[in-house]
Amino acid sequence: MAAKDIAENYHTLRESIPDYVKLVAACKTRSAEEVEAIIDAGATMVGENYVQEAEDKSAALGEKAGQVEWHMIGHLQKNKINKALPIFDVFQCVDSAKLARHLNKRADRILPVYIEVNIAGEESKYGIEPSRTRELARDICTLPKLRLEGLMTMEPYFQDPEDARPYFRHMRSLFERLREETLPGAALEVLSMGMTNSYRVAIDEGSNMVRLGTALFGPREY
């Protein structure tokens, strides 16, 4: 998609989404030129699913890569942590105490992290079971290099986004209950849920961060 079309999409979306809702440009499979276009349009956060892809794009963007906050929104493997740390500012993908401990051990700064919750228990998706979210939150808060700042989920895909509403509602409930906990060092402010097909419903149900790809860049070319 041409840079001007990407910019137009960004501005249209930004104007239609409440100011308090943060917009992460989901850049999986997008070119460095497309990422540059979204940065030029005014995006302040970009999300990547794969470390190697993020590394390549960051290198291609040069100094411009430093103008935005980079969010890891895909599954993070232990053997990719060392490469991920210099690139990503926020890790939305923490789904186990084991991964949290590895991040903490290797970090050279305080890392903002979100717990990824598999809200529907789908075998095809990563994320911790909703019932174990509290336990993981407490584990994270014992690690000095991690700061728990939010929850993230990838809801099931439905043709009708209204069908995702119960899952968003469940996530909001988890989020609110967790915020009532005494979690030393946590700053639990972000509920990251909602993608291109479902972000309006997600915002209705309490999301204050959406991750949009197709709505910004058009359909992926496989």
Q: Which two tokens stand for residue 67?
A: 């103008």
Give 68-116 pLDDT, tens digit per residue. Answer: 999 999 999 999 999 999 999 999 999 999 999 999 999 999 999 999 9
Tell me the mean pLDDT in the region 124-153.
97
The 8-class DSSP code of residue 86 comes to T
Evaluate if residue 118 carries a pLDDT over 70: yes
Percent of residues, the chain, with pLDDT higher than 90 = 97
Evaluate if residue 220 carries a pLDDT over 90: no
What pLDDT score does 152 carry? 98
**Domain region containing 152:** 3-212
Give 171-218 pLDDT, tens digit per residue. Answer: 999 999 999 998 999 999 999 999 999 999 999 999 999 999 999 999
Asked whether residue 185 is domain-assigned, the answer is yes
The residue count for the chain: 222
What pLDDT score does 28 carry? 96
Q: In the predicted model, what is the mean pLDDT of the chain?
A: 96
Name residue 45's beta-bridge partners. 69
Residue 133 Cα distances to 148, 153, 167, angstroms: 12, 12, 15
In the chain, alpha helices (H): 3-16, 32-41, 51-61, 81-84, 97-106, 133-140, 165-179, 199-204, 214-217
Question: Coil, strand or helix: which one is 127?
Answer: coil
Asked whether residue 7 is domain-assigned, the answer is yes
Query: Which CATH number covers residue 191?
Result: 3.20.20.10
How far is residue 152's CA from residue 154's CA, in Å, rounded to a whole number? 7
Asked whether residue 93 is domain-assigned, the answer is yes
Tell me the mean pLDDT in the region 146-172.
97
The number of distinct structural domains making up the chain is: 1
The 8-class DSSP code of residue 5 comes to H
Tell me the mean pLDDT in the region 42-59.
98
What pLDDT score does 141 carry? 97
What pLDDT score does 158 carry? 95
Asked whether residue 220 is domain-assigned, the answer is no
118 Cβ contact list (under 8 Å, min separation 6): 95, 125, 126, 127, 128, 129, 130, 153
Nearest to 49 by CA among 68, 66, 24, 22: 24
What pLDDT score does 1 carry? 87
Asked whether residue 180 is domain-assigned, the answer is yes
How far is residue 84's CA from residue 76's CA, in Å, rounded to a whole number? 9
Q: Are strands 45-48 and 111-117 parallel, antiparallel or unpaired?
A: unpaired
Question: What are the DSSP calls for 9-71, one per residue?
Answer: HHHHHHHHS-TTSEEEEE-TT--HHHHHHHHHHT--EEEES-HHHHHHHHHHHGGGGGGSEEE
Asked whether residue 221 is domain-assigned, the answer is no
Asked whether residue 17 is domain-assigned, the answer is yes
Q: How confident is the model at residue 22 (pLDDT cuts 50, 70, 90)?
A: very high
Q: How confident is the model at residue 222 (pLDDT cuts 50, 70, 90)?
A: low
Asked whether residue 217 is domain-assigned, the answer is no
